Structure 1
Amino acid sequence: MSEYVLQTVNLTKKYKGIDVVKKVNMQVKKGEIYGFIGLNGAGKSTLIRLVAGLTYPTEGHLELFGENQSKELIHVRQQLGTLIENPALFPNMTAEQNLEVIRLQRGIPGKECIKKVLSRVGLENTGKKKAKSFSLGMKQRLGIAIAMLHEPELLILDEPINGLDPMGVVEIRELLKQLNEDHGVTIIISSHILSEVHQLATNYGFIHKGELIEQITANQLNEACKAHLLLKVNDANQAIITLEQKLNTENYEVMPDGAIKLFSHLENSTLVTRVLTESGLDIEQISPQGDTLEGYFTSLVKEVS
C-alpha cells in the first residue's frame, strides 16, 4: 500500500484557457497535517475541488490511497471528508438533526455515529439549540462533524479558521490536533494565514498563481526561519574553536559551504566580530538572518513572481 494518501502528477485545471492550477506535483503522506498555503486566488480551492471530485482536471492526474483510475477514485473518495468554504447547515435544525439528515443522505447505518462525532467535536451538549444560534466557531465544528460523520481517513478543510475570533481559532486547532493524534486522521488544511496553520501543520505546500512553489516539513520551515548570525570567515575550523573557547558556546551549525550559523549572541554581533578578528580570522560576512513565517512565504512569492 502506498505511503501517500494523495499524490498529484502535473495536475492542471484551465478555465477559459487560463491555468488556475498549473502542473502541480503534490504529495501528502498518511498521518500528516498538511498546511496548504497560498494567497486568496492562488488556486487552493480549485485544487481541493479537484481532489474531492467536484471538478475534473484539464491535464495530469491524481492518486488517492494508491488508486488513480476513474472507477477506483469514485470508490476511494468515500474515505474523504471535506469542508469547502462555509458549512451548509439547516439553520432551524439542531446539531443532531443536521447530522441525521446527512446520515440518511449518505446511507450510513445506525445513529450511533451521530453521538460519537458530536462528542469528538465538542457539541454533545448543544441539545435543542438551533444551528442559527451557534457561534461561528460552533458552526465550523458542526461542519467538521458533517465531514467526519462517516469516519474518513482523509479530512480536507478549506479555510476552516477564516473569520473566527481568537478563541474559535484555538478551539478548531485543538480539535484538529485531537482528530489527527488520537484518531489517526490525515488532514489537509488550506489557508492564507500561515501563522495559524504553523501551530498545527507537520508539512507544508506553498502555492502561488496556481503553481506549487515549494513543499517543506515543519522542522525545515522552523529551521529556515530560525534567527541566527550568519558567519563567513576564511577558516571555519578556527572559527569553531574560537566560538567554543572565547564565547563559551556550542550553539552553532556549520553549513556545507563552510558558513556558520550562530544561534547565540544574536544581540551582540560586535562582540562576535571582535573575538573572531582578535583570533586572526578574516571576516567575509557577519549578518543577522532568519525570518518570520510570513516573511519566508513572502520571499518565496517574490522569487517566483
Structure 2
Amino acid sequence: MQEYVLRTNQLSKTYKGHTALDKVNLSIRKGSIYGFIGQNGAGKSTLIRLVTGLAFPTKGSIELFGASDDKALIQARKRIGSIIESPALFPHMTASENLEANRILRGIPGKECVPRMLEQVGLQGTGNKITKNFSLGMKQRLGLAIALLGDPEFLILDEPTNGLDPMGVVEMRELLKQLNRELGMTILISSHILSELNLMASHYGIIHRGQLLEQFTAEELDGKCQQYIYIKVSDPGKAAAVIQNELNTTDFEVMQDGAIKLYGHMEQPSKISSVLFTAGLEIEKFTPMGEDLESYFSKRIGVDSHV
C-alpha cells in the first residue's frame, strides 16, 4: 500500500471573502520530490502555510504522516523542515550563531549538527561574517541549513533557488536530490522556475486560482508533453485549412502569434512542407519540437506559450 506523508481533504481557505484555496485534495507520497506549480496568487503559499501550521483552514482537513487530529498534527509538524518566503534570520549573527540559536529554540540536542549543516549547504567558510552582509543566495542557503536542523523527514521549500546564481541553482538542485536519494527525504518544492523543477521532481501538482487542477508523475508528464512540428507561414488561416484538408487531420493548434503546432505526422516532414508549398504558402519556420513542463503548464491553465 502506498504511504503518504501529506494528504489534504477538501482543504479550503477564505480571507475576507476571497477564496485562496478551494476544496484541494492533494497527496504527496513518501520519498517523492513534489513540484508544486502555479502562478503568483494561485494558492501555493497559502497551502504551505496551512500545512506548516502558520494558518488555519476555513474548511477541510490535513493529514501529516497519517495524523489528522489537532494534537497529533502538532507532533507531526516537528518532523517537517521548511523555508517559507524569505528565511527568518538574525541579521547581526553569523551563520553558525543563527544555526545555534535556532537549534536551542527548537530544543534540538547536540551542537555537532551546526558545522555539519553549514558544510552541507556550502557555508562552512563564512566565519565571522554577519548575516546582514550575506547575499540573497547565501541567505537562501542558510535558510535551508536551518530547515535541515533536526534531520526532518519532510522538507517544504518555497522558491528555494531565489537569488542563486546559475552555479548555485545547480548546487541546490544536486543537494536536494542527494537528500532525497540518500536519506529518503520527501520534498515539496514550490517554484516558478519550471525548467529547474523538471530536472528533479518525481511528482507534480498544478494549482490555479485556488483549485488543484491535476497531479501527475514525471513519467506521466513525458506522455503529456507531445512532440510536434512548429510551423510559421505567410497565411496561418490558409495553412490551417490546407493541413486539415490535405493531411486529413485536426490534430493541430494555431497559436496567438499565428504559429501552428502540428501534432502527429512527425515522420512525414517532407510531405507536410510540400503540401504547404504547393498551396502557395511561404514557409518562414518549420521545426520538429517537443513540449516541456512549462509549455504543458501554460496549456493547462489556458495561457499561450510562445516559442
SS at match of 1:206: strand
Q: Does structure 2 retain, via aligned residues, the 8 Å contact 1:2–1:66?
A: no
Aligned twin of 1:292 = 292
Q: 1:17 to 1:97 in 2, by over 3 A?
A: same
- Cα distance in 1 for residues equivalent to 2:120 and 2:147: 12
Q: Does structure 1 retain, via aligned residues, the 8 Å contact 2:33–2:187?
A: yes
Q: CA deviation at 1:198?
A: 1.0
- Cα distance in 1 for residues equivalent to 2:86 and 2:268: 44
SS at match of 2:302: helix
Q: Does structure 2 retain, via aligned residues, the 8 Å contact 1:35–1:197?
A: yes
Task: Within 5 Å, give how 1:129-140 maps onto structure 2.
Answer: 129-140=129-140
* TM-score normalised by length of structure 1: 0.79
Q: CA deviation at 1:222?
A: 2.2
SS at match of 2:88: coil
Deviation by residue 1:32-79 (Cα, 9 ceiling, x = unmatched): 000000000101000000000111101110100001011100011000
Q: Does structure 1 retain, via aligned residues, the 8 Å contact 2:137–2:163?
A: no
For structure 1, the residue ranges without an aligned partner over 5 or more in a row are 233-259, 274-287
Q: CA deviation at 1:268?
A: 4.1
Q: 1:78 to 1:192 in 2, by over 3 A?
A: same
- Cα distance in 1 for residues equivalent to 2:274 and 2:45: 48
Aligned twin of 1:245 = none
Q: CA deviation at 1:128?
A: 2.0
Q: 1:301 to 1:266 in 2, by over 3 A?
A: farther
Deviation by residue 1:55-114 (Cα, 9 ceiling, x = unmatched): 110111010000101110001100001100111112222111110100111111110111
Q: Does structure 1 retain, via aligned residues, the 8 Å contact 2:195–2:293?
A: yes
For structure 2, the residue ranges without an aligned partner over 5 or more in a row are 230-243, 245-262, 276-287
- Cα distance in 2 for residues equivalent to 1:93 and 1:267: 62
Q: 1:272 to 1:78 in 2, by over 3 A?
A: farther
- Cα distance in 1 for residues equivalent to 2:217 and 2:168: 26
Aligned twin of 1:176 = 176
1:66 matches 2:60 = no
- Cα distance in 1 for residues equivalent to 2:292 and 2:201: 16
Name the amino acid aligned to 1:101: A
- Cα distance in 2 for residues equivalent to 1:160 and 1:211: 23
> What is the identity percentage for the equivalent residue pairs of Structure 1 and Structure 2?
57
Task: Within 5 Å, give how 1:114-263 maps onto structure 2.
Answer: 114-228=114-228
Deviation by residue 1:142-188 (Cα, 9 ceiling, x = unmatched): 10010110111000011112343322221211121111112211100
- Cα distance in 2 for residues equivalent to 1:110 and 1:143: 19
Name the Cα RMSD after superposition: 2.5
Q: CA deviation at 1:271?
A: 9.1
State which drifts further: 123-132 or 40-49: 123-132
Aligned twin of 1:6 = 6
Q: 1:90 to 1:301 in 2, by over 3 A?
A: same
Q: 1:75 to 1:2 in 2, by over 3 A?
A: farther
Aligned twin of 2:234 = none
- Cα distance in 1 for residues equivalent to 2:31 and 2:299: 29
SS at match of 2:204: strand
Q: Does structure 1 retain, via aligned residues, the 8 Å contact 2:140–2:162?
A: no
